[in-house]
Structure 1
Amino acid sequence: MAATTDEAGVVPDPVNRVTLRDPIRESEERANQARIKRLTEAFNVFDQESNNTIPSTELGTVVRSLGLVPTEGELQDILSEMSDDSNPESIHLERFLNVMNVILKDRRYQGEPESKILRAFQVLDAENNGFITEEEFRNYLCKEGEPFNDEEFQDFMTIALDDESDRICTYKDFIQNLVVEDND
């Protein structure tokens, strides 16, 4: 017979009449609290009116600020889970926390590891220069797969340019700007 825990993660021991802690449940609860805190902090950056809502147009930015990389289609699925029929223009904190907590817990939409990104750049660098030109970036990002619009491309290029030389940085340096460390 399996022991059950109460809300505090405590397992009663009916034989010895002592209370045992459930370390697994306590660890899960700490992880949940840390996720909620992280999500709330990210949400609050975009809650300009301090009314526990953000514009639905900011969802992609908030989600990506958490290190997640959903496609636009996946982002629309997330938005539909969070949308309130009475006000589709905004997302309430409670709905955001409910949906995003599950997404983070399930580790959905995680970015790729640095080694995999480096291999991809090496494949794209046909001349083995150690960098990709702006024109090459534009072709790959604006014409292939899920294409970037001009604004997205310009935002991307602000990361790709070396601050000192105003040239495309080597992709080994550039990758450092793409990889998001996992905080969980």
Structure 2
Amino acid sequence: MFLNVTLGASLREAITALPIERRIGFDLKKIYQQLIESFHTYESHLSNFVFDRDMHNIIYSLGFVPTHNEMNDLILAMRFHPRSRTSEREEIDVEHHLIHFYDFVDIIIPKLLNNDYEPADEQYLLKCFKKLDQNNKNYLHKKLFVQTMSTMEDALDKNESEDLLNFLVKNENLSTGNLPDFFDYKRYIKHLLPQRHLIYLDLGVAK
């Protein structure tokens, strides 16, 4: 049902600005399908809406990782879209705002087409984890890792911290021998790199 939407001006401009070799064979339908799948994983109580608190995971699931400030700018752009599809009636959560699918699409597709954000890099993420793993054990304590992620400049909020800890606790594939409180961060990176809930570490490691 989403594929019948009329292209917004920003999207038309982004497609027009692509090099001719990229426009040949350009598959907007495939991109829309990817966005639909990511978006609906976090759909709220209202059809075609998500809470802004879930937008981080939606965007990470697309395979790129904006900085904290870039992420905030994206969410604000979606919330205050000039043709916002979100009415005051729909803003029923006092702490978290709703974002409509079309507002999400209008803002995010030009960013994807322009390659505005670097994709997650496995070797870079591995360097970041090794900086935390000062004893070269190849594993980290689950709670201490979450606490570290919650105190950094681009900190996780309470909900994100709980989600991450629950994931680390419940995912048996990340377990480390007979050490239930620890997880194998190499398997964590490989498992999450193309998946949702990718956690981007900015620990001052040179790329």
1:135 positional shift: 5.2
1:60 positional shift: 2.7
TM-score normalised by length of structure 2: 0.61
Aligned position for 2:194: 180
1:128 positional shift: 1.2
Aligned position for 2:116: 108
Please tell me the residue identity of whatever aligns with 1:169. F
Give the paired residue count: 157
Aligned position for 1:153: 161
Q: Deviations over 1:92-146 (max 9, x none)?
A: 3322212111122123344421111112222221111111223541452122322
1:49 positional shift: 3.4
Aligned position for 1:4: none
In 2, distance between residues paired with 1:49 and 1:129? 45
Distance 1:33-1:169 versus aligned 2 partners, 3 A rule:
same
CA RMSD of aligned residues (A): 3.0
Q: Among all aligned residue pairs of Structure 1 and Structure 2, give the percentage whose two residues are the same amino acid.
A: 22
In 2, distance between residues paired with 1:160 and 1:111? 23
- Structure 1 runs not aligned, ≥5 long: 1-21
Aligned position for 1:74: 70
> In 2, are the aligned partners of 1:141 and 1:147 still within 8 Å (CA)?
yes
Secondary structure of the structure 1 residue equivalent to 2:34: helix
> In 1, are the aligned partners of 2:140 and 2:185 still within 8 Å (CA)?
yes
Aligned position for 2:14: none
- Structure 2 runs not aligned, ≥5 long: 1-19, 92-96, 196-207
Secondary structure of the structure 1 residue equivalent to 2:24: helix
Aligned position for 1:137: 145
In 1, distance between residues paired with 2:35 and 2:73? 18
Compare relative contact order (CA 8 Å, sep 6+) and give the higher one, 1 or 2.
2
> In 2, are the aligned partners of 1:114 and 1:179 still within 8 Å (CA)?
yes
TM-score normalised by length of structure 1: 0.67
Aligned position for 1:49: 46
